[in-house]
Structure 1
Amino acid sequence: MHKQLITKQDLISLGYSDYQAKEIIRQSRLYMIELGNEFYDNRKVSSIPLKAVSKILGFEPQILEVK
């Protein structure tokens, strides 16, 4: 099963630097706010839906859930 919520650590595990991962999360949060999801208008929110991250990256990262 693949993760539906992506965190900075997930992006780092894919090979992105700390700065790049933070920027992807920030841009994804802004995208979610544009869609009308005011919940993401908070700096402390660090888990972003896969669809928003996919929109920013241009592809859908496949990250397996750890149980």
Structure 2
Amino acid sequence: MVTITKHDLIELGYGTSQSASIIRLAKCLMVEKGFAYYCSKRLARVPVSAVEEILGINLEIEEKIHA
């Protein structure tokens, strides 16, 4: 599963607060779908599919390996 963070959205051209808001909405969406894992305040990474569902567009994101 490919995931995305607020910083990735900023790199795509979204503003700082808009990126944070998108991640927050994506976390709420995942909780509504039954993934309680996303209730965590410290979690800042969500599936790209959730962000795409919120924005209504397909994002061309390549999977990065975070070391």
Question: TM-score normalised to the size of structure 1?
Answer: 0.88
Q: How far off its partner does 1:26 sit?
A: 0.1
Question: CA RMSD, aligned part only?
Answer: 1.4
| Cα displacement string for residues 26-58 of structure 1 (whole angstroms, at most 9, x for unaligned residues) | 000000000000000011111100110111110
Residue 47 of structure 2 corresponds to residue 49 of structure 1: yes
Residue 30 of structure 2 corresponds to residue 32 of structure 1: yes
Q: How far off its partner does 1:66 sit?
A: 4.3
Letter in 2 for 1:15: G
Q: How far off its partner does 1:60 sit?
A: 1.7
Letter in 2 for 1:18: T
Flag structure 1 segments of 5+ consecutive residues without an equivalent: none
Identity percentage of aligned residues? 38
Letter in 2 for 1:26: R
Flag structure 2 segments of 5+ consecutive residues without an equivalent: none
2:5 to 7, 13, 17: 7
